[in-house]
Structure 1
Amino acid sequence: MFPPPPVRILDSRKPVSFWCVIPHRWHVNSNDRAIVGLVMISHAMVHTYELSIPIFMTVWLDLFEISPGRLGLVVSAGYALFGLGALPGGVLADVLGSRRLIAVALFGMGGSFVALSLSPSIPVIAVSLLLWGSAASVYHPSGLSLISTGVDARGDAFAFHGMAGNAGIAFGPLATTLLLLFTDWHLVALVLAVPALLAGAYALRLRIDESAAVSDDADDKTGGVSSLAEFVAESKLLFFGPFVAVFGIVMASGLYYRGVLTFLPEMIAEFPMFEPIQIANRALEPSRYFYSGLLMVGIAGQYVGGKLTKRMPTERAIAIAFGVLALLALAFLPASNAGLIPFLVLGALLGFFLFVVQPLYQATVAEYSPAGTRGLSYGYTYLGTFGIGASGAAIAGGVLEFFSPGVLFFVLAGIALVAAILGAVLSFR
Structure 2
Amino acid sequence: MKSSSNGLLTQVSIAHLVSHLHIMTVPALLPLLPDAMQVSFVELGFAIGLFNIVSALVQAPLGFLVDRLGARRMLMATLLLGTVSFGLVAIFPSYPYLLAAMILAGLANGVYHPANYSLLSRDTPSSRMGRAFSIHTFAGFLGSALAPPIMIGVALSIAPRWSFAIAALAGLVAWGVMVISGSPLPDRRPDSCIDEPRKIETRPLTTPVMTLAVLTLLFTLLSLSTGALEKFSVSALVQGFDVALPAANLALTAFLFASAFGVLAGGILADRTDKHGYVAAGAFGLAAFIVVLVIRVPLPPIALAFALGAAGFLTGMVAPSRDMLVRAASPAGAEGRTFGIVSTGFNVGGIIGPILLGFLLDRELASAVLWAAAAFMAATTIVVLLQERRSHIKSVMAS
Larger Rg: 1
Opposite residue 253 of structure 1, the aligned amino acid is: L
Give the corresponding residue for 1:426: 387
Which of 6, 31, 50 is the equivalent residue of 1:58?
31
Is 1:320 matched up with 2:279? no
- Deviation, 1:63, is 2.1
Q: Kindly provide the CA deviation profile for residues 289-324 of structure 1, in whole angstroms up to 9, marking residues without a partner as x.
A: 332232111121111111121122111111112222
Q: Which moved more, 1:407-416 or 1:293-302?
A: 407-416
Give the corresponding residue for 1:413: 374
Aligned with 1:66: secondary structure?
A: coil
Aligned with 1:57: secondary structure?
A: coil
- Paired residues of 1:35 and 1:208 also in contact (CA < 8 A): yes
Uncovered stretches (5+) of structure 2, i.e. residues with no partner = 393-399
Structure 2 length normalisation: TM-score?
0.87
Distance 2:102 2:243 in 1: 29
Aligned with 1:127: secondary structure?
A: helix
- Deviation, 1:424, is 1.3
- Deviation, 1:370, is 0.8
Give the corresponding residue for 1:157: 132
- Deviation, 1:181, is 3.2
Aligned with 1:263: secondary structure?
A: helix
- Paired residues of 1:318 and 1:423 also in contact (CA < 8 A): yes
Is 1:110 matched up with 2:83? yes
Is 1:197 matched up with 2:192? no
Which of 329, 347, 352 is the equivalent residue of 1:386?
347
Q: 1:170 to 1:62 in 2, by over 3 A?
A: same
- Deviation, 1:414, is 2.7
Opposite residue 276 of structure 2, the aligned amino acid is: T
Q: Kindly provide the CA deviation profile for residues 29-53 of structure 1, in whole angstroms up to 9, marking residues without a partner as x.
A: 1121111011110011011121121
Distance 1:245 1:115 in 2: 37
Give the corresponding residue for 2:395: none
Give the corresponding residue for 2:213: 244
Give the corresponding residue for 2:7: 34
- Deviation, 1:185, is 1.8
Give the corresponding residue for 1:22: none
Distance 1:179 1:266 in 2: 18
Q: Kindly provide the CA deviation profile for residues 112-137 of structure 1, in whole angstroms up to 9, marking residues without a partner as x.
A: 11111012421111111211111122
Give the corresponding residue for 2:324: 363
- Paired residues of 1:82 and 1:134 also in contact (CA < 8 A): yes
Aligned-residue Cα RMSD (Å) equals 2.6
Is 1:262 matched up with 2:221? no
Uncovered stretches (5+) of structure 1, i.e. residues with no partner = 1-13, 15-28, 224-232, 277-284
Structure 1 length normalisation: TM-score?
0.82
- Paired residues of 1:73 and 1:394 also in contact (CA < 8 A): yes
Aligned with 1:206: secondary structure?
A: coil
Q: 1:183 to 1:363 in 2, by over 3 A?
A: same
- Paired residues of 2:17 and 2:141 also in contact (CA < 8 A): yes
Q: Kindly provide the CA deviation profile for residues 345-397 of structure 1, in whole angstroms up to 9, marking residues without a partner as x.
A: 22111221232222221111001111221111100121111344432111211
Q: 1:375 to 1:85 in 2, by over 3 A?
A: same
Aligned with 2:352: secondary structure?
A: helix
Distance 2:115 2:102 in 1: 21
Percentage of matched positions with identical amino acids? 21
Distance 1:402 1:168 in 2: 31
Opposite residue 424 of structure 1, the aligned amino acid is: L
- Paired residues of 1:255 and 1:390 also in contact (CA < 8 A): no
Q: 1:218 to 1:48 in 2, by over 3 A?
A: closer
Aligned with 2:239: secondary structure?
A: coil
Distance 2:228 2:241 in 1: 23
Distance 2:91 2:296 in 1: 42
Q: 1:40 to 1:292 in 2, by over 3 A?
A: same
Q: Which moved more, 1:146-155 or 1:198-207?
A: 198-207
- Paired residues of 1:100 and 1:203 also in contact (CA < 8 A): no
The 5 Å alignment of 1:292-303 reads 292-303=253-264
Give the corresponding residue for 2:306: 345
- Which has more helix, going by share of residues? 2
Distance 2:174 2:306 in 1: 36
- Deviation, 1:54, is 1.5
- Paired residues of 1:305 and 1:356 also in contact (CA < 8 A): yes
Opposite residue 172 of structure 1, the aligned amino acid is: A
Q: 1:59 to 1:135 in 2, by over 3 A?
A: same
Give the corresponding residue for 2:396: none
- Paired residues of 1:116 and 1:129 also in contact (CA < 8 A): no
The 5 Å alignment of 1:168-317 reads 168-204=143-179, 205-209=182-186, 212=189, 214-215=194-195, 220=200, 237-270=206-239, 274-275=243-244, 285-312=246-273, 313-317=275-279
